[in-house]
Amino acid sequence: MGKTMIQKIIQRASGKEVQVGDRVWCKIDLSTARDFGGPNCVLQFDEVTDKAKVWDPDKIAFTFDLQAPAHAEKVANNQKIIRDFAKRQGISKVFDVNWGIGQHVLLEHGLVKPGDVILGTDSHMNLLGGVGAFATGVGNTDIVASWINGTLWFRVPETMRITTTGSFGKGVCMRDYLTFLVGKLGADGMFFKAVEYYGETIEKSSLADRITLCSMVTEMSGKVGLITPNGEVLDWLVKRAGKEVIERIEAMKADSDAIYSDDLHFDVSKLEPMASCPDAPDNVKTVREVAGTHIDQVHIGSCSNGRFEDIAAAFEVLKDAGFQVSDNVRTIITPTTREVMKQCAEAGFIQKFLEAGVVFTNPTCSLCTAEHYGVLPGGDVGVSTTNRNFIGKVGKGSHTYLVSPMTAMASAVKGVLTDPRDILK
């Protein structure tokens, strides 16, 4: 019987022939922790092992992204716990507060290959499925166990196949398609499953779009979304992670007779700009249906939609609006990584954003939590390209609409929720 991608990945990592439902121990290629969750991992590891050595310091990485640089003493102290541990353990892959969002930084550094099994203390680790890696967010106990002997248990999941065809219309992008999917399938629509994305829309898409699509698998309760690197994305990845990438892709391709639990097909040609309305990602409407809604703040960024292509799309909207955002909203843009920020600087975006009245920040996870600058006061309504809008997520009593970077910028320009097609020329 044929095997899906996740089955092949788990077979490589476990050294065993596996079937759906099996629970097996897998070798871990990279076990990471960040400034959020990481200190707990370090303290727990030292406690349960009596400060033993980690299994392999070269397969552990730390990233500082949730609150970078530290904005409070409690944060600073936690970050120090990680730095001290890395030094003591001889862990050199430490990406401090100057780098940006962990998964993206790992990817840019060539530390992620298709078929890798990667752990992290971030529920959106699985965005690395955008290049075919099985990356997954876990709790601190899982991380600590992996640091002891380099393995972790997994249940082999069912696989859902989603084929996507068609090209996006003006003002519509992958984020809108994703929001549509979350609305269509619901918060548990991918329940514990792996997803394989196929079709011309995916094959033509940028790395940024693939990351968006895989990041939000979490919001549908999926384990990981997997896309086989091809075209420009493959070239980019080989340049970063080496030629082994090509062998890995061959080894993990799904068999033609693989068994899928679901087989879905969507065409994006007639899709409209979409919004996840308060207070759940799967409360989905078209932007037209909620256009004109009062808003107080706009945020463009996050691991889902803060790459150069996302910011460039927002820039186009701002350009067509004459480079001015509304005085009635606070507009914040946060690039994903330092590399993305440099790209924005080189393209001349940052100068224009600043002149338009935008707050352009250093690369961080920024407004994914209420523990960062830009927090919303009770009663305020935010528009954001982040991945969750549970009530109070970025400030008690506040509400958030999740949209594409284009819709976010259109809303920043008009000062109310706005369909970007009303601005784009």
Within 253-312, the residues that bind another protein by CB under 8 A are: 280
Sheet holding 399-402, edge to edge: 284-286, 274-276, 399-402, 381-384, 297-300, 330-333, 359-360
Among 48, 251, 345, 354, binds another protein (CB under 8 A): 48
C-beta of 205: minimal distance to another protein in Å? Answer: 25
Beta strands in 168-282 (DSSP E): 194-198, 224-226, 262-267, 274-276
C-beta of 192: minimal distance to another protein in Å? Answer: 5
Q: Does 23 bind another protein (CB under 8 A)?
A: yes
Q: Does 38 bind another protein (CB under 8 A)?
A: no
Q: CB of 60 within 8 A of CB of 149?
A: no
Name the strand (E) or helix (H) holding 161: strand 159-165
Distance CA 167, CA 209 (A): 13
CB-based burial label for 338 (10 Å; 0-12, 13-18, 19+): middle
CB closer to another protein, 187 vs 238: 187
C-beta of 125: minimal distance to another protein in Å? Answer: 8
C-beta of 370: minimal distance to another protein in Å? Answer: 6
Distance CA 207, CA 193 (A): 22
Q: Does 153 bind another protein (CB under 8 A)?
A: yes
Within 347-386, the residues that bind another protein by CB under 8 A are: 369-371
Write out the two tokens for 418. Answer: 């706005």
Comparing CA positions, the residue from 91, 92, 64 lying closest to residue 80 is 64
Strand 94-95 to 23-27 pairing: unpaired
Among 142, 196, 209, 310, binds another protein (CB under 8 A): 142
CB-based burial label for 133 (10 Å; 0-12, 13-18, 19+): buried
C-beta of 50: minimal distance to another protein in Å? Answer: 10
Distance CA 67, CA 178 (A): 27
Among 103, 140, 334, 404, binds another protein (CB under 8 A): 140
Among 89, 165, 221, 261, binds another protein (CB under 8 A): 221
Among 15, 90, 139, 377, binds another protein (CB under 8 A): 139
The CA distances from residue 49 to 4, 53, 117, 153, in Å, are 37, 8, 24, 19
Binding segment toward another protein, per CB under 8 A, in 7-15, 34-42, 177-185, 231-239: 34-42
CB closer to another protein, 223 vs 414: 223
C-beta of 127: minimal distance to another protein in Å? Answer: 13
Cα torsion 209, 210, 211, 217 to 10°: value is 110
CB closer to another protein, 223 vs 248: 223
Q: Does 14 bind another protein (CB under 8 A)?
A: no
Within 113-132, the residues that bind another protein by CB under 8 A are: 121-123
Amino acid identity of residue 56, one-letter, is D
Q: Does 148 bind another protein (CB under 8 A)?
A: yes
Distance CA 221, CA 338 (A): 30
Q: Does 200 bind another protein (CB under 8 A)?
A: no
Residue 219 is classified by DSSP as: G
Q: Does 46 bind another protein (CB under 8 A)?
A: no
C-beta of 76: minimal distance to another protein in Å? Answer: 10
The footprint of another protein (CB under 8 A) covers 23, 36-37, 39-40, 43-44, 48, 72, 74-75, 78, 121-123, 137-142, 144-145, 148-149, 153, 187-188, 191-192, 221-223, 280, 369-371, 388, 390, 392-393
